[in-house]
Structure 1
């Protein structure tokens, strides 16, 4: 019994030591936060540490002294009441000071990393950025080229030494493309390849300050959270605002436009570059959440939207050029043009409902092409993380080989085109016909290979299943 007790006591001591070391590491990583006003040390100044690991900033300490000097009678009465209260000695204030979660604490700035991180030599040139995007994104060559040049110029502007005579403006982007064409995927891939923090938000949730919904500053708060509360790293990140067409100026309405033109006006300073006070670890400002100042001057903003009714505005403009006479254009001339968005102009966007000042802060406007059958087939099998490669890997873990006929891939692509939701339709189609295969294969260990055929995709037959050691029939070999 004594040996077991010693072992338990030793384990408890080790646990306490690990807890103390982790707490010490946390204190070294994050800034101290004032117990009363919740401001970090970088905002409030050097903290005063009281017994019980309670940190108080000089302002709150001075206010406390002033309150004591102004009302000494109340302080004496309060102290007497506290002495008469039972078990007052059991009150532990140190537990309250440690209740701030790490996601609401600001990381300390590391001076040593500055010289290594911020270097123009670390920025890949445009052709390398595009080559990296080509490994993950099929097609959209013009969009990838525009993004590569814009990102390269943006980070050159950020890292280059300041020149008092010439000031380079920001390269914020507006991408327009049909649903499922890869707008969000392009930005996600770009941020991952460059290893910069990325925040993705929908403009549909943004409202004017004071109304129900997310304030405009919440997008910067999400970026700060993505950077693990490292302000300096967040100030060199990317913010992608999707569904930007949903905040277009509302037409023929008598109600206050709190989620349309008002949001566009509120985002002007954000896009241009200004100091924004954002809550750390929360979406709304309140007294119990510390605030941190983030400068948006070096944050790259990318806005994207489908702009569904924009094609009608473009058709109307194009048809105005020649509407009478023998050489007049037919009204339905542009109805079959899948890439009509590529002819968009700023005037079309203003007609759609975007404020001119807002468009002026998004100087780079480009469009994405609609996906055709050939592009969908390539999306299925070519990228590094292609959907078919993922399923092949899943079956490899069961020691089963998975193959797809070319006719089957064409059939999948045609079904996706019918859904008219772009590349995101591919996943749902494959999930549908792979369900039974993924369910049945683990039952039979003799199965060695499964070949997905066109008949199985179109539900007129089944897949070709081969046992271990069995070869593909010659008629089916490609």
Structure 2
């Protein structure tokens, strides 16, 4: 399971020494500035800033500073005896404190024994995610190789293994985000989930590209070394496609793709700790993205039309010709996608080249909807059964009722997200009426009740 991040208070941090001191003026950590000088009021200032401050102080009692020839001599003075005016201290938030790097760490963060095999990862995903076997295999192998790549990267004499970033393509509600979120719960690896819709080019309103790495650093407890071995999932990646027929600067489309190139390829970037904004007084840390695995996912609406157009180019007239409507009812059309189709959608070639593994998710059918309702550990029907168990009432769904729910979900064409909206609608009256009568022991949901042709079957307790 993913580690729970706990942030210590300042007093605890000072005693345990887990976090670095941050310069009050320049916001650099102690690992970059050297030993800090502690000032009254809990302020820490680096030697560079204290030298500048020392040269410009005019209101001090200069008699107490006689004999000082360099900055090191100030450490021997009782700073509380100086007439320094009170300062408005702006304490650093706990979430923005930088963990000290353990210079004595000789063992790696993990060994090959800690690397779960792909089939083990898939077995864990199968307990929560229904279907999408191909996608689960691709994700399992990618994470497995990601661990091994970091472990073998320390071998300078061996062959260097390049990382394989993943592009997940699938219709809405097919389980892209849920698949990665479930992976985060099952694996002990820092994982950050970012939304591409909020990203803009540097200098414009919105989040910078480096905010993605800031979220990963936060999920790793501000431990840079651990964050450099993490995974980043960028959702809604299709929203940064190039805008067509525009006369203005595309600050949230092609420009974002171009700035993402350096992160996907691997580079050292400076990111603020504990915040997404660079213009605040927050400590900065350098993170190397070379060992970070990037997974990008998106629904790519209208991509199926581009695929159909390419497949229908070979249509002709004759006995062996292919009909133009051959692919209209194709449920797994995304599996036929190529890099050329993605480029026509609006992704630049340089961006596609840095995502060599393309993982497609198929559209859910009726059988998949029925399994989603009942089989996963946190299935929707199990959640409602658990809610009524608190009222000592058993909730039962017959087969015809689950068939009806699956049929209605397919009509909505919004994937698995439609299931909860459908169930919420007919469960409203039940959840409202059941607590009124303490003699109700069981409620059976039937198809007639869902079709508004009758009431649910209620079984009373034997009194």
1:151 and 1:171 in contact (8 A); partners too: no
Map of 1:154 onto structure 2: 146
Structure-to-structure mapping, 1:266-285, within 5 angstroms? 266-285=259-278
Map of 2:167 onto structure 1: 174
Instruction: Name the SS of the counterpart of 2:314 in structure 1.
Output: coil
Map of 1:18 onto structure 2: none
**Are positions 1:309 and 2:302 aligned together?**
yes
Structure-to-structure mapping, 1:102-251, within 5 angstroms? 102-110=94-102, 115=107, 117-160=109-152, 161-251=154-244
Structure-to-structure mapping, 1:253-402, within 5 angstroms? 253-402=246-395
After superposition, give the CA deviation of every residue in 1:350-380 in whole Å (9 maximum; x if it has no partner): 1111111111111100100100010000001
Map of 2:33 onto structure 1: 44
1:37 and 1:287 in contact (8 A); partners too: no
CA drift at 1:168: 0.8
CA drift at 1:324: 4.3
- Cα separation, partners in 2 of 1:78 and 1:96, compared to 1, 3 Å: farther
Instruction: Name the SS of the counterpart of 1:350 in structure 2.
Output: helix
- Cα separation, partners in 2 of 1:130 and 1:111, compared to 1, 3 Å: farther
- Cα separation, partners in 2 of 1:113 and 1:180, compared to 1, 3 Å: farther
Instruction: Name the SS of the counterpart of 1:285 in structure 2.
Output: coil
2:59 and 2:84 in contact (8 A); partners too: no
Map of 2:443 onto structure 1: 450
Distance 1:162 1:324 in 2: 60
Map of 1:24 onto structure 2: 11
Distance 1:46 1:118 in 2: 31
Distance 1:148 1:222 in 2: 23
CA drift at 1:115: 2.7
- Cα separation, partners in 2 of 1:22 and 1:167, compared to 1, 3 Å: closer
2:174 and 2:363 in contact (8 A); partners too: yes
Distance 2:369 2:315 in 1: 37
CA drift at 1:112: 7.5
Of the structure 1 ranges 105-114 and 224-233, higher mean CA displacement relative to structure 2 is found in 105-114
1:248 and 1:260 in contact (8 A); partners too: yes
- Cα separation, partners in 2 of 1:116 and 1:210, compared to 1, 3 Å: closer
CA drift at 1:139: 0.4
Bigger helix share = 1
Residue-pair matches, total: 435
Of the structure 1 ranges 378-387 and 29-38, higher mean CA displacement relative to structure 2 is found in 29-38
Gaps of 5+ in 2: 1-7, 64-81
After superposition, give the CA deviation of every residue in 1:23-74 in whole Å (9 maximum; x if it has no partner): 4313233221112112222232221223443211111122223445xxxxx5
Distance 1:190 1:455 in 2: 39
Map of 1:35 onto structure 2: 24
CA drift at 1:303: 0.3
2:315 and 2:323 in contact (8 A); partners too: no
- Cα separation, partners in 2 of 1:156 and 1:233, compared to 1, 3 Å: same
Distance 1:442 1:111 in 2: 60
Map of 1:429 onto structure 2: 422
Which ranges of 4 or more aligned residues in structure 1 deviate by more than 4 Å?
Answer: 74-79, 88-93, 110-114
Instruction: Name the SS of the counterpart of 1:354 in structure 2.
Output: coil
Map of 1:82 onto structure 2: none
Alpha-carbon RMSD across the aligned residues, in angstroms, is: 2.3
Distance 2:440 2:100 in 1: 56
- Cα separation, partners in 2 of 1:90 and 1:39, compared to 1, 3 Å: closer
Gaps of 5+ in 1: 1-20, 69-73, 80-87, 471-478
Structure-to-structure mapping, 1:409-420, within 5 angstroms? 409-420=402-413
After superposition, give the CA deviation of every residue in 1:416-446 in whole Å (9 maximum; x if it has no partner): 1111110011111111111121122222111
CA drift at 1:116: 6.4
2:45 to 44, 48, 56: 56
